[in-house]
Amino acid sequence: MSDPIRRDIVICYVLGQELRRGKFGITYLCINKFIGDTFACKSILKKKLRTAGDIKDVRREVEIMKHLPPYPNIVRLKDTYEDDVAVHLVMELCKGGELFDRIVARGHYTERAATVIAKTIMEVVQSCHIHGVIHRQLKPESFLFANKMEIATLKAIDFGLSIFFKPGKTLH
């Protein structure tokens, strides 16, 4: 990644327990040293970025997250850092777990509850499309609840496969 060098993440944050693991990196609990606020930090390991396409995908993920305006159902990117080992994306922390895990735990949703979830997902898709972004990884694991309450806000995460598009253009 050849963007200007950013300050080292450990100056501002303490990385804590592992929250989740993906193909390219690990998401950790992240605590701001100065104000004590908690976040999630997705650390994308550079050794896993084997091709120019992988590096391009990480750049695009950061660009897309910075491009999207604040929206209540899309996780917010707070800051980005880069060191010799990883690219670090500091994001809002969602403590309620994956939509997938809630579906499994409940066994089933009522039609009314499923409608609320589906509507939220469609609104996320609409917001992304209005701003020229296609998520391309819509699945229950790509949505987290803000907290553990039954009525918690559902938030889209994982924009690693997302792309920009221009309305009217054909996608290949």
pLDDT in tens, the chain (172 residues): 444 446 689 999 999 999 999 888 899 999 999 999 999 999 999 999 999 999 999 999 999 999 999 999 999 999 999 998 999 999 999 999 999 999 999 998 999 999 999 999 999 999 999 999 999 999 999 999 999 999 999 999 999 999 999 977 777 6
The answer to whether the pTM exceeds 0.85 is yes
Query: How wide is the angle at C-alpha 109 spanned by C-alphas 72 and 28, nearest 5°?
Result: 45
Domains of the chain: 9-92 (3.30.200.20), 99-164 (1.10.510.10)
